[in-house]
Amino acid sequence: MQQMLLICRPGFESDLAAEIQEKAAARAVFGFVRAKPNEGFVVFEGQEPDAAERLLKGLPFQDLVFARQWLAVVAHLPQVDPQDRINPILEALSGQACHSAWMSYPDTNDGKGLSKLVRKLERPLEKALAKQLNSKAGFHLHLFFESGTDIWVGLTPVKNAAPWPLGFPRLRQPPSAPSRSTLKLEEAWLQLIPEAQRASLLKPFQKAVDLGAAPGGWTWQLVQRGMQVTAIDNGPMDKALLDSGQVKHLREDAFSYKPPRPVDWLVCDMVEKPARVAELMERWLVQGWTRFAIFNLKLPMKRRWLEVSRILARMETELESAGCVYQLRAKQLYHDREEITVFAAPRHY
């Protein structure tokens, strides 16, 4: 397979294009990217016929910041008969075994309008594929609907992709959480911490610090996990959270606050220059004030990939030169707008 289709937040196509081109080239997979503004996806066109296989083998999906999901393209069917979508798909697949049948569409207004069609196709597709579906297969069949009649038939590896077809989990706003930002931290945990490690990393009685905490959406998540939280913000915190007995609110400046003792978790969601936040996080990690950190970096208006890659590379270098053996994992989450979320953890935890 020569092409990869990658899904992103609409408006970030050029950032994803720059990122995938750079990361593919670093693995000696050369090609160019077709990307149109606000379409919510890009297509990497490899030079070699096995470019997609080589990318899937050499590039961990979790290393991509701006991609929500990806598929190696088996066939592009730009004008499918709306009376019979399934047979051309089966023909394109030519008997390939698949773990399951996934369908997705761009996260645009037109794209979201396709969700009904996708639901309607689920049963008939699974029926038609019955002989090909096999839970041991390494790939999901992935149909990406550019429109109701323009379908990309592809394969998404079970073990090297986001575990949700569209690339993000559907989360409900908890009624007692004080802000919508709460979903950002919940999604970050699901997206950035592998499932097998989540329970051992997020445990009751752990100590956490939330920098820029008010009104308390992120603190709420930490409290739900049974943690003891120090919330730093000059603004007011949600009263019910303070009444939980698990939260200590300090009206201090996040840039000068020092924890009296090391903590397990640092989280930080401040609207600040990304380089300044990165430096603050470096300080906490290098000083050993926290073991794990999750923080947001606001994105610049232009050339966002360039800026993000510079900041992350600088952080990695600084941490390494201080003998701090850490890994950084960054992602633009579904709940992130003009920002990305970063998870920092000791390399061997």
Ligand X SMILES: C[S@@+](CC[C@H](N)C(=O)[O-])C[C@H]1O[C@@H](n2cnc3c(N)ncnc32)[C@H](O)[C@@H]1O
**Residue 177's closest CA among 215, 210, 206?**
215
Q: Least Å distance between CB 338 and ligand X?
A: 12
**E-only strand ranges, 12-95:** 31-35, 41-46, 69-77
Q: Least Å distance between CB 273 and ligand X?
A: 11
Please, which residue, 18 or 229, has the CB nearer to ligand X? 229
Q: Least Å distance between CB 87 and ligand X?
A: 49
Please, which residue, 35 or 231, has the CB nearer to ligand X? 231
Do the Cβ atoms of 289 and 258 come closer than 8 Å? yes
Q: What does the alpha-carbon distance between residue 223 and residue 218 come to, in Å, rounded to a whole number? A: 9
Please, what's the b/e burial string for 287-321 (b: 16 or more CB within 10 A of its CB; e: otherwise)? eebbbbbbbbbebeeeebbebbbebbeebbebbee
Q: What x-and-dash track marks residues 238-267 binding ligand X by CB under 6 A?
A: ---------------xxx------------
Q: Which of 60, 113, 235, 262 is in the footprint of ligand X by CB under 6 A?
A: 235
List of residues 6+ apart from 184 with CB closer than 8 A: 217, 218, 269, 296, 333, 335, 336, 341
**Under the criterion CB under 6 A, does residue 47 sit at the interface with ligand X?**
no
Please, which residue, 135 or 256, has the CB nearer to ligand X? 256
List of residues 6+ apart from 74 with CB closer than 8 A: 1, 92, 93, 96, 153, 154, 155
Q: How far is CA 182 from the centre of its chain?
A: 16
Please, which residue, 257 or 324, has the CB nearer to ligand X? 257
Among all residues, whose Cβ is closest to ligand X? Answer: 217
Q: Least Å distance between CB 272 and ligand X?
A: 6
Q: Least Å distance between CB 248 and ligand X?
A: 14
**Under the criterion CB under 6 A, does residue 216 sit at the interface with ligand X?**
yes
Number of residues that bind ligand X (CB under 6 A): 21
Q: Which of 14, 181, 191, 206 is in the footprint of ligand X by CB under 6 A?
A: 181
The answer to whether 57 is a known catalytic residue is: no
- The single residue of 131, 184, 258, 298 carrying the catalytic annotation is 298
**Cα torsion at 120, 125, 126, 127 (round to 10°)?**
100
Please, which residue, 101 or 222, has the CB nearer to ligand X? 222
**Under the criterion CB under 6 A, does residue 274 sit at the interface with ligand X?**
no
Q: Least Å distance between CB 12 and ligand X?
A: 20
> How far is CA 57 from each of CA 5, 160, 333, rounded to the nearest angstrom?
15, 9, 24
Do the Cβ atoms of 5 and 43 come closer than 8 Å? yes
**Under the criterion CB under 6 A, does residue 295 sit at the interface with ligand X?**
no
Structural tokens at position 26: 């670093």
Which CB contacts under 8 angstroms, 24+ apart, belong to 122-129?
Answer: 124/86, 125/86, 125/89, 125/101, 126/101, 128/86, 128/90, 129/90, 129/98, 129/101
Residues pairing with 149 in the sheet: none
Please, which residue, 13 or 272, has the CB nearer to ligand X? 272
Q: Which of 61, 168, 218, 343 is in the footprint of ligand X by CB under 6 A?
A: 218
Q: Which of 186, 269, 282, 339 is in the footprint of ligand X by CB under 6 A?
A: 269
**Under the criterion CB under 6 A, does residue 271 sit at the interface with ligand X?**
yes
Q: Least Å distance between CB 300 and ligand X?
A: 18
Name the segment binding ligand X (CB under 6 A); options: 82-90, 127-135, 226-234, 283-291: 226-234
E strand or H helix that includes residue 90: helix 86-93
Q: Which residues are catalytic?
A: 298
List contacts with ligand X (CB under 6 A).
178-179, 181-182, 212-218, 232-235, 253-255, 269-271
